[in-house]
Homo-oligomer: A and B are copies of this chain.
Amino acid sequence: MIRLSTKGRYGTRLMVNLARHHKNSNEPTILKNVSEEEGISIRYLEQIIIPLKINRLVKSIRGAGGGYILARKPTDIKICDILYALEGSCSLVECIEDETFCEKVKTCGTYEIWKGANDLLRGYFEKMTLQDALEICEKKIADAKKKTKVK
């Protein structure tokens, strides 16, 4: 019904991936690795990371031995920041950010519905940080490992 674009999905996975490497070492992470780990083509990742760089969520280091690192600590990056960078806005329908987008805002019978949903979502994504995502992710992987061991 409401779709998170692949840019948003892939970009967030990219950020979580960088966060995991960030925790383990100070070395820049290369997209080739991200590509293999996440199963997303390098070429596409290259395009997706541009807005993340422009919005100063990641820093790039060029040349051999280069790669990408998070620009701030995972606790200081909100999921909302990531989605905003990737999608240019952070709303369910454009008329919420741009009042001129729909001509009929004043009589539109649905504006308030979307606004309510949007506020819910925004609250959720404002509270959640990359650190939260990282912890969920690590826990999940740890649990998965346990299970296979028990087997």
Contact = CB atoms under 8 A, between A and B. Distances in A.
Interface residues of A, number: 49
A124 B133 contact: no
Contact of A144 (B106, B124, B125): B106
The A interface is mostly helix, strand or loop, or mixed, namely helix
Contact of A124 (B89, B117, B140): B117
Nearest to A9: B93
A77 interface: no
A80 B4 CA distance: 17
Contacts of A4: 1-2, 92-93, 114
Interface string A36-53: 001100000000000000
